[in-house]
């Protein structure tokens, strides 16, 4: 069963897929958004589904096959920062819309075994693409304190960065910090408990974003998507972090001033209370959308 993507109803309403139209899902994940698009674009509409993670692409392939829709999907293991090149190589010359559902999926937390969750005893890794050399284990155990602190401040907006790093250094001098759950316990010693989020959330977020170069990829991916779209093509972004949302907001504003985009969402669309109750990880989601002029 595919986990239902956050703000799925709103995504589909804005994209408004029609018979025989083609779309690009730049972060296909388990295939939940692609599935809904394909249901509405039969008989010939296709989706180009891109993901940096080979393992989750297998999940998408399986889920779409179970729904009899695999023949209308082109799956590509790649980085959406190269979306223009990937699309042209696969002959997607006129997509009617492009969706970026940013961040990581529930699959990464529950099934990847790569230390994305601070609650699990999994080796610190946090790579989407296992061909990347840098892991969170290396950063936490080998990098200079000032470099780690910089990551937590810049990519996690963590106000307690200095105290966290001091405690990490103290712990790693005794024994290497192997597991995500161990790092979480170290952070809990020095970060006050927050009402809505776990004390380790911002640290884990920062490490994940830094290791996978998520902000840099997003900036390049947005540029490529805009160049790829024809007039009237839509671009929809769902972000889960203030830094990601800032990148999208600033890009849309800049391109609207230049006259190449018309912003559809004057304010970001956020999940309704009932969706957040069903899926607490949806609480930070923000959807922004625009149409190419």
Q: How large is the average pLDDT for residues 21-44?
A: 96
Give the H/E segment covering residue 12. Answer: helix 8-15
Q: Residue 21 and residue 138: Cα distance in Å, rounded?
A: 45
Model confidence at 1: pLDDT above 70: no
pLDDT of 43 strictly over 90: yes
Q: How many other C-beta atoms are found inside a 10 Å radius of the C-beta of residue 213?
A: 15
- pLDDT tens-digit map of 108-132: 666 666 777 777 788 898 888 888 8
| Sheet architecture: strand order including 47-51 | 73-77, 47-51, 23-25, 97-101, 234-239, 286-292, 261-263
Residues linked to residue 77 through DSSP beta bridges, in sequence order: 51
Strand segments (E) across 32-162: 47-51, 73-77, 97-101
**Model pTM?**
0.90
Look at the domain 8-106+214-292 and name its fold.
Rossmann fold (3.40.50)
Torsion, Cα 241 255 26 239, to 10 degrees, reads 10
Report pLDDT digits (tens) over 169-226. Answer: 999 999 999 999 999 999 999 988 776 788 988 998 999 999 989 999 999 999 999 9
Spell out the residues 6+ positions from residue 112 whose beta carbon is closer than 8 angstroms to its own.
53, 55, 56
Mean pLDDT value across the chain: 92
Pick the closest to residue 211 from 128, 101, 146 (CA basis): 128
Res 107: pLDDT = 58
Domain ranges of the chain: 8-106+214-292, 133-211
Angle CA 141–142–147, to nearest 5:
105
Q: State how beta strands 97-101 and 73-77 pair.
A: unpaired
CATH homologous superfamily for 133-211? Putative methyltransferase TM0872, insert domain (1.10.150.170)
Dihedral (CA of 265, 209, 60, 93) sign: positive
């Amino acid at each position: 069963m595919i986990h239902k993507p956050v703000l799925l109803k709103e995504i589909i309403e804005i994209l408004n897929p029609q018979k025989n139209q083609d779309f690009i899902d730049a972060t296909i994940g388990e295939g939940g958004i692609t599935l809904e698009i394909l249901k509405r674009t039969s008989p010939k509409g296709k989706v180009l589904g891109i993901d940096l993670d080979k393992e989750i692409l297998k999940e998408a392939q399986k889920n779409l096959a179970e729904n009899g829709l695999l023949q209308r999907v082109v799956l590509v293991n790649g980085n959406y920062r190269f979306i223009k090149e990937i699309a042209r190589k696969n002959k997607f010359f006129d997509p009617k819309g492009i969706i970026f559902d940013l961040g990581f999926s529930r699959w990464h937390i529950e099934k990847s075994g790569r230390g994305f969750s601070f609650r699990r005893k999994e080796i610190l890794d946090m790579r989407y693409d296992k061909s990347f050399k840098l892991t969170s284990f290396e950063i936490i155990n080998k990098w200079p304190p000032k470099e780690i602190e910089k990551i937590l401040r810049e990519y996690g907006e963590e106000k307690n960065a200095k105290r966290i790093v001091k405690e990490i250094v103290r712990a790693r001098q005794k024994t290497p910090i192997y597991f995500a759950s161990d790092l979480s316990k170290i952070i809990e010693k020095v970060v006050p408990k927050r009402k809505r989020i776990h004390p380790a959330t911002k640290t884990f977020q920062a490490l994940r974003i830094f290791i996978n170069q998520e902000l840099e990829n997003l900036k390049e991916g947005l540029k490529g998507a805009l160049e790829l779209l024809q007039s009237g093509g839509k671009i929809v972004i769902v972000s889960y972090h203030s830094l990601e949302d800032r990148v999208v907001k600033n890009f849309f504003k800049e391109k609207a001033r230049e006259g190449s985009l018309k912003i559809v969402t004057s304010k970001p669309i956020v999940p309704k209370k009932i969706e957040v109750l069903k899926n607490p990880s949806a609480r930070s989601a923000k959807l922004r959308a625009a149409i190419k002029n």
